[in-house]
Amino acid sequence: MGKPTGFLEFERVSEGYEPVDQRLKHYHEFVARLTDEQAKVQGARCMDCGIPFCNNGCPVNNNIPDFNDAVYRGDWRAALDILHSTNNFPEVTGRVCPAPCEAACTLNINAKPVGIKSLEHAIIDRAGENGWVVPLIATVKTGKKVAIVGSGPAGLAAAQQLVRAGHDVTVFEKNDAIGGLMRYGIPDFKLDKRVIEWRVAQLKVEGVKFRLKTLVAADDKLPKGVACDATKLIAPAELLAEFDAVILAGGAETPRDLPIPGRELDGVHFALEFLIPQNKEVGGGRKNPINAHGKRVVVIGGGDTGSDCVGTSNRHGAASVTQIELLPKPPEREDKLLTWPYWPNKLRTSSSHEEGCTRDWAIATKEFIGEKGKLKALKCVRLDWSGGKMKEIPGSEFFIEADLVFLAMGFTQPVQALLDAFGVAKDARGNAAATTDGPGCYATSVPKVFAAGDMRRGQSLVVWAIREGRQCARAVDEFLMGTSLLPR
């Protein structure tokens, strides 16, 4: 425990943001990490609870009180080792995780929680600047070969764990760069892609091989679209013949659609049709074909993807940005006595919202209205959620003028063609059917084929993907060797 009375003496200090008028001019990260002294104060606020609920609130079960204490004592190297013992990519989670650990912090019952996410950010960035993050190369090779399909956080976490266990690991990625939706779904102003390149360089030295622009599919035709750069195909049968185990770790890339009149109009797009090309443009690729400059933008969906569309539209110079949500407006503050230590339903305002956005709730979109094939407006209706059931309010119809609409209503399931190509049994939601505990966990219905992350659980957080990748790696190691020393 850092300081027994720290939680009584010190207030929470949050990370600083670059002013809105400045950060809207670029796509770089704009969050300033804590100074060493600020981090020490945050570490001192940790109560070292008898039951550290923050550990359980964190999907990867970070040893949070331990690294809080190490930061308070100024032992940054120890803090890094503690953080890396449970999390392969804290440079990612320290930037984009919503921090369920902080919701579970005991201080959060009647005060502001410890700034756990900001401490994680400070630890890993300081480690990177001092050259403390080095490759860990296996001294003994097993001779076993593992193929991983998908290079998002689940695939990369599994790859790093397995290559360190001595296995020969090859990651297959259909796009032209590593990272999956972590690279192309999250804007650079939230996650600078140099962070991913930094970690990929470590993985390569550790021995992970990457095969880019390679689509694993049974069909002999390359699909077209913003989410696939593949120029080569490889059949599942080839992977099963060449490798001793295969992990399916692709993302939940099937977006939820809104099949209402006018859906075909020019100007109505899925969110990733806007975000992926923008990330490629920022990374040095061709210009985003969707330009929000001077446009009236409406984002349908109130989650992180919608927020990313808001921030990107503002950087384009949109004339206006409106975000609407089907569900009712959450309360400004949660009832902590009822919700703690679980993730509460409450109003969350992102940095993108603060940059300029009109938000509205309990709205259903009935029709996209166009002129000469181009979007001009949305016909909407207000909803009554009393009693927990959604009902349209008679006479509440209204219109929102719009030139661009981005559908950001979540993702329903992973790409079905990949699961079908392997013949993997699916659950009721279209995900790969596999358990997470006990003998044979993460194994699918097809021998030596495993599944983790969004491919197994559906759309979720980066931190859940890392957890599943790590646990799946242990399951594969046990399958190949009969036992495993890898942590879960």
Would residue 354 count as lying in a domain?
Answer: yes
Would residue 136 count as lying in a domain?
Answer: no
Phi and psi angles of residue 405, each rounded to the nearest 5 degrees, phi first = -125, 135
- Tokens, residue 187: 């804007």
pTM (predicted TM-score): 0.96
Judge whether 465 and 454 are in contact, CB under 8 Å.
Answer: yes
Would residue 134 count as lying in a domain?
Answer: no
Residues 300 and 263 in one domain: yes
Check residue 455 and give its pLDDT. Answer: 97
Rounded Cα gap, residues 199 and 280, in angstroms: 19
pLDDT digits (tens, 9 = 90+) for 311-363: 999 999 999 999 999 999 999 999 999 999 999 999 999 999 999 999 999 99
Alpha-carbon torsion, ordered 310, 193, 217, 270, to 10 deg: 10
Neighbours of 290 (CB within 10 A): 19
CA atoms within 13 A on the CB side of 240: 13
Handedness of CA 256, 259, 260, 264 (dihedral sign): positive
- Tokens, residue 305: 């993807």
Residues 394 and 284 in one domain: yes
Average pLDDT taken over every residue of the chain: 96
Residues 160 and 233 in one domain: yes
- Tokens, residue 238: 């080839």
Tell me what the mean pLDDT of segment 425-442 comes to. 96
Rg value, the chain, Cα:
23
Rounded to a whole number of angstroms, the distance between the first and last alpha carbons of the chain is 25
pLDDT digits (tens, 9 = 90+) for 70-90: 999 999 999 999 999 999 999
Residues 364 and 268 in one domain: yes
Does 483 have pLDDT greater than 70? yes
64, 99, 103, 336 from 340: Cα distances, Å = 18, 14, 7, 5
Which of residues 358, 389, 409 is at a domain's end? 409
Tokens 């964190």 label which residue? 58
CA atoms within 13 A on the CB side of 445: 12
Would residue 29 count as lying in a domain?
Answer: yes
Question: What residues have CB less than 8 Å from 91, skipping those under 6 apart?
Answer: 124, 125, 128, 195, 198, 199
Report the residue count for the chain. Answer: 488
Judge whether 472 and 449 are in contact, CB under 8 Å.
Answer: no
Domains in the chain, number? 3
Q: How far is CA 323 from the centre of its chain?
A: 21
Give residue 335's domain range.
Answer: 257-409
Check residue 1 and give its pLDDT. Answer: 64
pLDDT digits (tens, 9 = 90+) for 130-167: 999 999 999 999 999 999 999 999 999 999 999 999 99
Peptide bond into 341 cis (omega under 30): yes
Angle at 484 between CA 483 and CA 487, to 5 degrees: 150
Would residue 138 count as lying in a domain?
Answer: no
Q: What is the CATH number of the domain that holds 69?
A: 1.10.1060.10
Does 277 have pLDDT greater than 70? yes
Residues 236 and 308 in one domain: no
Residues 397 and 283 in one domain: yes
Does 101 have pLDDT greater than 70? yes
Q: What is the CATH number of the domain that holds 172?
A: 3.50.50.60
Which of residues 101, 129, 157 is at a domain's end? 129
Judge whether 216 and 234 are in contact, CB under 8 Å.
Answer: yes
**Band of residue 387 on the pLDDT scale cut at 50, 70, 90:** confident
Would residue 54 count as lying in a domain?
Answer: yes
Would residue 486 count as lying in a domain?
Answer: no
Does 223 have pLDDT greater than 90? no
Tokens 């569309």 label which residue? 309
What stretches of 319-373 show up as alpha helix (H) in DSSP?
336-339, 351-354
Residues 157 and 239 in one domain: yes
Residues 291 and 222 in one domain: no
Above pLDDT 90, what percent of the chain? 94
Which of residues 362, 386, 409 is at a domain's end? 409
Neighbours of 194 (CB within 10 A): 11
